[in-house]
C-alpha cells in the first residue's frame, strides 16, 4: 500500500503546487493592490499545503526524497496534477472561476480527508481545510460580482466558465491505486464529493445570475497519468530553473 500512498500524496501536492504557482504569477499583476495581495495569500496557502504533502510522500516512500526533490527535480511527465490547475493565466475572471471550481471541490474533499485513517494525511487536511474555506468564500464573492457586474465582467466570466468546464470531471477521477486507498478508509471517495461541489457551484452561479455552460465540450483529462499540456512544461521550466542551475542553493 505504500507505493499507492506515496503516489496519492504526491498527486495532492502537485495539484496544490501547480495552482499555487499559477496564482503566484499574478504577483504585481492583480487588478488592485488589495487583490494582488489576496492572490498571493491564496498562492502561499496552496504552496504550504504542497510542501506538507510532498514531505509526507517522501517519508512514506522512504528514499530520502525531500519536498524540493519533488517540486524542482521532476519533469512535467512526472507530475500528477489535474489539467485544470496548470492552464495558463488569462484574465481575472478566469482566475476566480478556476479558484472557485477547484476550491469548491478541495474544501469538502479535504474535510473528508481530515477524517482519514492515515493520521499524517488527516493532520495536513485539517490544517488545509481552513485555508481552502476562505478560497471558496473569496472566489465565490468575486464570481458573484463579476457575473452580476458590468457587461464586460459578465462576458469574461461566461468565457471563463466555458473555457474551464471541460476540466471539471478530472477532479473526480480515481485510478486503481486511489480506489484501493478509498477501500482502506485512507482516501475519500471523490464521487461522494460531487453532489457537494454541484450544490456550491449552482448556488454561486444563481447569485451571479449565470448558468452552467450549455455547450458541453468534450471532457479533458490525462493529468493524473502524466499527460499534460505543453503549458505545464513551460511553467515548470520557469519555476525550476534556479534550483536546477544551483542544486542545493539556499536563500
Partner 1 sequence: MTDKTPMPLWEVFIRARSGLPHKHCGSVHAPDATMAVQAARDVYTRRGESVSIWVVPSAAIIASDPNEKDQLFEPTSTKAYRHPTFYDIPDEVGHM
Residues of this chain that interact with partner 1 (CB under 8 A) are 32-35, 37-38, 41, 137-138, 141, 145
CB < 8 Å & 24+ apart, contacts of 239-243: 239/21, 239/71, 239/72, 240/71, 240/72, 240/73, 243/68, 243/71, 243/72, 243/73
> Which CB sits closer to partner 1, 123 or 141?
141
**Please, what is the minimum distance in Å from the beta carbon of residue 120 to partner 1?**
25
> Which CB sits closer to partner 1, 137 or 212?
137
Query: Cell for 63?
Result: 528514499
Q: Are 51 and 16 in contact (CB under 8 A)?
A: no
> Which CB sits closer to partner 1, 44 or 159?
44
Distance between first and last Cα of the chain: 37
**Please, what is the minimum distance in Å from the beta carbon of residue 153 to partner 1?**
10
Determine the distance from the C-alpha atom of residue 145 to the mean position of all C-alpha atoms in its chain, rounded to a whole number: 23
Ramachandran quadrant class, 215 (left: phi over 0; alpha: psi -120 to 50; beta: rest): beta
> Which CB sits closer to partner 1, 74 or 145?
145
**Please, what is the minimum distance in Å from the beta carbon of residue 35 to partner 1?**
7
**Please, what is the minimum distance in Å from the beta carbon of residue 251 to partner 1?**
21
Amino acid at each position: 500500500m505504500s507505493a499507492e500512498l506515496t503516489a496519492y500524496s504526491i498527486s495532492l501536492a502537485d495539484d496544490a503546487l501547480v495552482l499555487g504557482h499559477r496564482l503566484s504569477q499574478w504577483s504585481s499583476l492583480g487588478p488592485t493592490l488589495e487583490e494582488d495581495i489576496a492572490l498571493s495569500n491564496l498562492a502561499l496557502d496552496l504552496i504550504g499545503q504542497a510542501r506538507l504533502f510532498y514531505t509526507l510522500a517522501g517519508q512514506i516512500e522512504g528514499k530520502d526524497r525531500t519536498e524540493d526533490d519533488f517540486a524542482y527535480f521532476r519533469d512535467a511527465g512526472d507530475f500528477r496534477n489535474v489539467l485544470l490547475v496548470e492552464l495558463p493565466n488569462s484574465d481575472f475572471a478566469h482566475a476566480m472561476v478556476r479558484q472557485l471550481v477547484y476550491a469548491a471541490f478541495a474544501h469538502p474533499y479535504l474535510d473528508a480527508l481530515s477524517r482519514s485513517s492515515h493520521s499524517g494525511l488527516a493532520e495536513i487536511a485539517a490544517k488545509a481545510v481552513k485555508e481552502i474555506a476562505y478560497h471558496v468564500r473569496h472566489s465565490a464573492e468575486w464570481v458573484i460580482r463579476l457575473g452580476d457586474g458590468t457587461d464586460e465582467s459578465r462576458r469574461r466570466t461566461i468565457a471563463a466558465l466555458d473555457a474551464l468546464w471541460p476540466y471539471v470531471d478530472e477532479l473526480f477521477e480515481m485510478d486503481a491505486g486511489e480506489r484501493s486507498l478509498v477501500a482502506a478508509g485512507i482516501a475519500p471517495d471523490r464521487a461522494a464529493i460531487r453532489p457537494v461541489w454541484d450544490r456550491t457551484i449552482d448556488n454561486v452561479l444563481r447569485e451571479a445570475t449565470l448558468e452552467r455552460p450549455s455547450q458541453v465540450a468534450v471532457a479533458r483529462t490525462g493529468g493524473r497519468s502524466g499527460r499534460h499540456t505543453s503549458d505545464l512544461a513551460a511553467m515548470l521550466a520557469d519555476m525550476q530553473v534556479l534550483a536546477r542551475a544551483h542544486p542545493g542553493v539556499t536563500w
